[in-house]
Amino acid sequence: MRISKKALVIGILFVVIICFIVSYAELVITYIQIGFLQLPPAVIGVFFFLVVASRLLKKLTHRFRLTQQELMMIYCMMLIASMISSRGMMEKLIPALVAVNYYANEPNGWDKLFFPHIKSWLAPFDPTKKPRQSIVIGFYEHLDPNEPIPFGPWVRPLLVWGVLILLIFFGFLCLASILRRQWVDNEKLTFPLVQLPLEFVRDEETGGFFKNRLMWLGFGLPTLIFTLNGLHGIYPSVPWLRLQHNLNQFFTERPFSAMYYTPAFISFAAVGFFYLLPTQLLFSLWAFFIFTRLQDILAAAFGMRVSGMPLYPTRLYIGYQVAGAYLVLVVYFIYVSGSHLKQVLKRVFTQEAIDDTGELLPYRVAFWGLIISFLLSVLWCYYSGLTLWFAFFELLIYIGFVAVVMARSTAEGGLLMTETSFRPIDLYVMVAQKASLGASSLTFLSFFDAIFTRDQRGLILTGFLDGLKIADGVKMKRRSLLVFFFVAIILALVCSATIHLWLPYRHGANYMYSYVYRGNPLWAFSDHAPALEGFSTEVGWRRLTFFIIGIIFTAFLAFMRTLYWWWPFHPLGYALSASWTMIVFWFPVFLAWLVKYPLMRYGGVRLYLRIRPFFLGMIFGEFSMAVIWTLISWIFRVPAPFFPWP
């Protein structure tokens, strides 16, 4: 396994750069979220700069030339760093450890509800003392410039949580090693999110991408729009184009007014990605989103009592259908992968079956690594306050179901965000009172939900799988990625943790991105507080009924898809229909389908490939403008335009 020291050193440098750019842009500037997407604009912008620099240096001397493989190794490191420094970890971890102390007060009584059950090693504050301790006040209200940042009290909790994070990340790495051959070689999933960076490095050989006029035409469209919109924010007389429309304003009469939030975001990059998907999947994605809104209308028409899914932007009856869909989808994936999984198990327990020397990890290492990391994670949660059996259940749902479906949504569905519509605790309350878990478990779940299970954007499993697909694209040995993944993870955790402490203590979390410091952590604790106060949760037929409906309907969709190649409804579209991802991207999906369906019907694959550079150019253009406007906003202290992926 050959390791390029040059690529590793450059990768380390760019990991640090990405951690700072993403953290500062998302937390301080806040106008543009450039790091939390599964293909982060910050990474694309910096990677393009690296590719151009490499080609310029090549003309001067071959000594500094980077090969395709080296460039993609650096790209994979930046991808992992962006996810960790954004929603994939640090934007959820750091605030969750202090929010409960800062926002505890006499009316909510959180110091009495939660503090007695917080293990001392889980948080930087002392849970035996009063709320709003100095270490927390400095975090939210900033320190004086001459005051030192109190890194000391943070070391132990971050190291302790770091153990769990590394166990889960290693489990994801093992899972990616097992899934790769089935998803890449057997099912030949398209992995749309890797196609643009691959075009960047292939251009040196083919000379086609950066010289293609259609690509630059596609690049120019979002460039023009975001330039005008940015200038409009500075000079209001400049014309602009609105990229967000709330469609609910057109449906004011019952029962249509009962529709949940239905915006239409216009994202050129999203249209570009979705152009790369099969038309059947495109149709399923937008059609099932509309199906959720039709359910809202029917529920209102029949006078059904409507309530929301806890902590998610959908109705309860839809959220539980989606939960049932996840269960069936994973079973369906296992069924489709049956032959491959049998070969993996044979390799694990004997020396027979498929050769795994070309995989990221040998199947025996991947299998036992997944099992051991899972069990150690269960024990970690148990010693931190969670009931043993529920720790097993929580992690099984998170790693075995939610993460797998989210990874599939990017590998097959090309979705820029990974977001679900339920948590493991939502399944438990179908059959039992939340309070029955006990105060210690609910306190720990408040942390765990905020850090891991509620917001899935930046899920690192997708980064591992994309990296393995990229390795095939540039004929790179997959196992050589191990060192780059490991270095990127460790360095990004340390670097981003340092930045995520430095920024709030210097700027004040109260004056930074509100979702990160108030929204996400407060929602998690607020959701469990009523159960600790003794309020009962509804346990009855409603949740279970809709869960079963989701199971039956998804099983029907999967059966029909297996039986008939022409079946237009993909079960993945149903499973993703209620997520924030589809709320944001359903309209770009619809636009992509509206373009691609007649194009494929009347022009075929040849016309699709001919026009493909235009749509890749739209991705490149929108992401480039996001990076450029981030820099302009930072340097000149002016507002940046709205980018349509909130």
Those residues whose C-beta lies under 8 Å from the C-beta of residue 397, and which sit 6 or more positions away, are: 424, 427
pLDDT tops 70 at residue 148: yes
DSSP 198-234: HHHHHHHHH--TTT-HHHHHHHHHHHHHHHHHHHHHH
Q: If pLDDT is split at 50, 70 and 90, which confidence band does 555 have?
A: very high
- Contact present, 325 and 574 (Cβ < 8 Å): yes
pLDDT(1) > 60: no
| Integer Cα distance of 340 and 331 in angstroms | 14
**pLDDT score of 63 more than 90:** no
Write down the pLDDT at residue 540: 72
The residues with which 244 forms a beta bridge, in sequence order, are 265
Residue 328: alpha-carbon gap to chain centroid: 22
**Local confidence band at 514 (pLDDT 50, 70, 90 cut-offs):** very high
Element (H, E) at 587: helix 580-636
User: 310 preceded by cis ω (within 30°)?
Assistant: no
Question: What is d(CA 227, CA 395) in angstroms, rounded to the nearest whole number?
Answer: 45
Which pLDDT does position 206 carry in this prediction? 63
Secondary structure class of 433 (helix, strand, coil): coil
What is the rounded (10 degree) CA torsion for 381, 387, 388, 392? Answer: -70
**Domain extents for the chain?**
5-636
CB under 8 Å to 415, separation ≥6 — which residues? 38, 409, 576, 581, 585
Q: pLDDT averaged over the chain?
A: 94
Using a pLDDT cut of 90, give the percent of the chain over it.
87
Residue 566's contacts (CB-CB under 8 Å, 6 or more residues apart) are none
What value does the mean pLDDT take over residues 560-573?
93
pTM for this model (two decimals): 0.95
Give residue 580's pLDDT: 95
Give yes or no for a contact between 95 and 514, defined as CB atoms under 8 angstroms apart. no
Average the pLDDT over 536-551 and give the result: 87
pLDDT of residue 205: 63
Work out the pLDDT band at 208, boundaries 50, 70, 90: confident
Confidence of residue 57 (pLDDT cuts 50, 70, 90): confident
Which of residues 355 and 129 earns the better pLDDT score? 129
Rounded Cα distance between 376 and 382, Å, is 10
What's the CA gap between 114 and 24, in Å, rounded? 31
pLDDT at 218 over 90: yes
- Give me the residues paired with residue 245 across strands: 264
Query: Residue 351's pLDDT band (boundaries 50, 70, 90)?
Result: confident
One-character DSSP codes across 484-549:
HHHHHHHHHHHHHHHHHHHHHHHH-GGGS-HIIIIIHHHHHHHHHHHHHTTPPPP-SHHHHHHHHH
Mean per-residue pLDDT, 526-555: 90
Helical segments of 355-480, H only: 363-383, 388-395, 403-411, 424-428, 439-448, 460-473
Residue type, 454: R
Rounded Cα gap, residues 73 and 475, in angstroms: 12
Residue recorded with tokens 């009316």 = 107
Answer yes or no: is pLDDT of 536 > 80: no
Q: How far apart are CA 352 and CA 31, in angstroms?
A: 55
* 527: Cα separation from own chain's centroid: 22
In sequence order, what are the beta bridge partners of 265? 244
Q: What pLDDT is attached to residue 121?
A: 96
* Residue 238 φ/ψ, nearest 5 degrees: -70, 135
Q: According to the model, what pLDDT value does residue 207 have?
A: 63
Question: Per residue in 359-371, pLDDT tens?
Answer: 999 999 999 999 9
pLDDT value of residue 610? 94
Q: Where are the alpha helices (DSSP H) in 264-400?
A: 268-275, 279-301, 316-336, 338-349, 363-383, 388-395
CA pair distance 25, 206, nearest whole angstrom: 35
Model confidence pLDDT, tens digit, residues 18-36: 999 999 999 998 878 899 8
Give residue-wise pLDDT tens across range 228-272.
999 999 999 999 999 999 999 999 999 999 999 999 999 999 999
| Arithmetic mean of pLDDT, 468-486 | 94
Cα separation, 621 vs 243, whole angstroms: 15
Q: What is the pLDDT of residue 246?
A: 95
Q: What's the pLDDT tens digit per position in 7-16?
A: 999 999 999 9
Residue 204, pLDDT > 90, answer no
User: Which contacts of 554-562 are long-range, i.e. CB under 8 A and separated by 24 or more positions?
Assistant: 554/324, 554/325, 554/328, 554/329, 554/332, 555/328, 558/328, 558/329, 558/332
Q: Is the Cα torsion angle 249, 255, 256, 258 positive or negative in sign? A: positive
Residues 539-564: what's their mean pLDDT?
93
61 pLDDT more than 80: no
Q: Specify the range with the lowest mean pLDDT, choosing from 204-218, 327-341, 441-455.
A: 204-218
pLDDT tens-digit series, residues 396-430: 999 999 999 999 999 999 999 999 999 999 999 99
With CA atoms as reference, report the closest residue to 465 among 125, 193, 78, 86: 193
